[in-house]
Amino acid sequence: MKIKKGDFVLISSSTTKKWMVKVEVDKEFHTHKGSIKFNDLIGREFGERIENNKGAIFYLWKPLPCDYSGAIAHSTQIIYQTDIAQIIFVAGVCSGTRVIEAGTGSGSLTAALARYVKPNGKVFSYEINEKHQRTAKKNLDKLGLADVVELKLRDVSEGFDEFDVDAVILDLPNPWDVISAARKSLMGGGVLVVFVPTFIQVEKTIVKMVEENFLQIEAFEVIRRDLTTKIGAIRPVTRIVNFTAFLVVARKGLHRSKEEQK
């Protein structure tokens, strides 16, 4: 597949040194190993290697979804790729899905959701901090995903504007205060995903889910253990992220509560 103007390209000089760029005519990208002219990339194949004016070797890759997450600017702690993948999977996010997210943060999860709901779906992302929202907007613009996301600046304890959505994802310190609003916005059988870092938050979230007639409740953490890839010395890496957070997942049931049946 040939690279053309406007494409995103992942340029790497090693396994760890890599940069996401958008190919623009007559412009250059500068690294610690010298510059690369974008005009020299146009017409080349993804997977090729090139040599720049200083003799440095770079490889040209077609970006994967995980590469987009790593390319954004951070104004907050982001959700890691391993958790993002699990959230997308358990929430059933795919093309055409309508998803509510709160809060937006730097937009790492927002961008990943946007890529999967394209072209006919929509992500409605709520954030209370205007500075964080500005960072997220810049990231979405940079990645060409702004048209799939509707950003909203609001305290979500006031509720959401959308109804009959497929999934609601909460990355908040007090998600239990928003679960009632999430239930109102979800379609029957819709999925609620909550991302929290402590056992106390997990328990309070589950208690509220039960009160609001959510079913199929699961709680778990996702663990990734990386290995070195040096031939003859393959072993676990010495520096790893041991813990990120817990995920609590449930589905909206349409049965009536005992109070509603009276």
What contacts 13, CB < 8 A, 6 or more positions away? 31, 33, 56, 57, 58, 59
Tell me: the pLDDT tens digits for 4-48? 999 999 999 887 788 989 999 999 988 888 899 999 999 999 999
Confidence at residue 76, expressed as pLDDT on a 0 to 100 scale: 65
Tell me: the pLDDT tens digits for 100-141? 999 999 999 999 999 999 999 999 999 999 999 999 999 999
Average pLDDT of the chain is: 91
At 53, the pLDDT band (50, 70, 90 cuts) reads confident
Whether 46 and 61 have beta carbons less than 8 Å apart is answered as yes
User: Residues 188-212: what's their mean pLDDT?
Assistant: 97
User: Residues 224-232: what's their mean pLDDT?
Assistant: 90
Q: Is 65 exposed, middle or buried (0-12, 13-18, 19+ CB in 10 A)?
A: middle
User: Residues 219-248: what's their mean pLDDT?
Assistant: 90
Domains of the chain, with CATH numbers? 8-63 (3.10.330.20), 66-261 (3.40.50.150)
At 78, the pLDDT band (50, 70, 90 cuts) reads confident
Of 158-167, 172-181, 235-244, give the lowest mean pLDDT range: 235-244
Confidence at residue 260, expressed as pLDDT on a 0 to 100 scale: 46
Residue 7 CB: number of other CB atoms within 10 A?
A: 18
